A and B are shown apart, each in its own frame.
Chain A
Amino acid sequence: DAGVIQSPRHEVTEMGQEVTLRCKPISGHNSLFWYRQTMMRGLELLIYFNNNVPIDDSGMPEDRFSAKMPNASFSTLKIQPSEPRDSAVYFCASSKQWGGSNEQFFGPGTRLTVL
């Protein structure tokens, strides 16, 4: 199993530019989560999907952030326009909604730097 795949691994952009982060969950998993990690705030849940439907986006910081899951194997997190305070590591994770212990599997993360 390839695990959760995220791209790009590193992104450096300038303030005001649009940034799109991508995630491919583990096949068969029907829950997908986007997290942000910073030194100041730690690990924050931004949004999660069950069966491609957004369930809770209360963690999305503001309207500049949006996330989509057009199908079971792909999700994007978009920031438009980006700001320096968006610099962080963004993680995607997936799990099976039913059965088991709800274990989440994390991707390697995308390190975003906004100049």
Chain B
Amino acid sequence: GNSVTQMEGPVTLSEEAFLTINCTYTATGYPSLFWYVQYPGEGLQLLLKATKADDKGSNKGFEATYRKETTSFHLEKGSVQVSDSAVYFCALSDKAAGNKLTFGGGTRVLVKP
């Protein structure tokens, strides 16, 4: 079956630091990959996505590249802000599984001023 593994948090950083959150996946088909972000007290929002190998998703200074050879989709941001404090979820969607999203466990990120 499909599965997503992401690094456990919490990750605590200072403002302007570099952020990396590792994500690896197992899938039987050719999944689309996503990063969702959940700010305190809110629902999940799509941060970025990639639908095929070597695609790079980017948004709000965050980037992630779909690496089929390493089955990874690591999230990076070069200079974080306090407003980036949130929980980040890596997920995959396999059309063979009918649009179901398989989520990782989430990584809490805390950025201190």
Contacts and interface: CB of A to CB of B under 8 A. Distances in A.
Interface of A: 4, 31, 33, 42-43, 45, 48, 50, 55-56, 91, 93, 95, 97, 101-109
B101 A45 contact: yes
Contact of B44 (A45, A50, A91, A101): A91
Interface range on chain B (Cβ under 8 Å from partner): 20 to 34
Interface of B: 32, 34, 36, 42-46, 49, 51, 89, 93, 95, 98-101, 103, 105-106
Nearest to B106: A42
Contact of A50 (B43, B49, B98, B106): B98
B35 to A, nearest CB: 12
Contacts, number: 57
A29 to B, nearest CB: 10
Contacts of A109: 42-43
B79 to A, nearest CB: 27
Given A101-B32, A108-B42, 10 more contacts: A4-B43, A31-B98, A43-B89, A48-B100, A50-B99, A93-B101, A101-B34, A102-B93, A103-B46, A106-B43
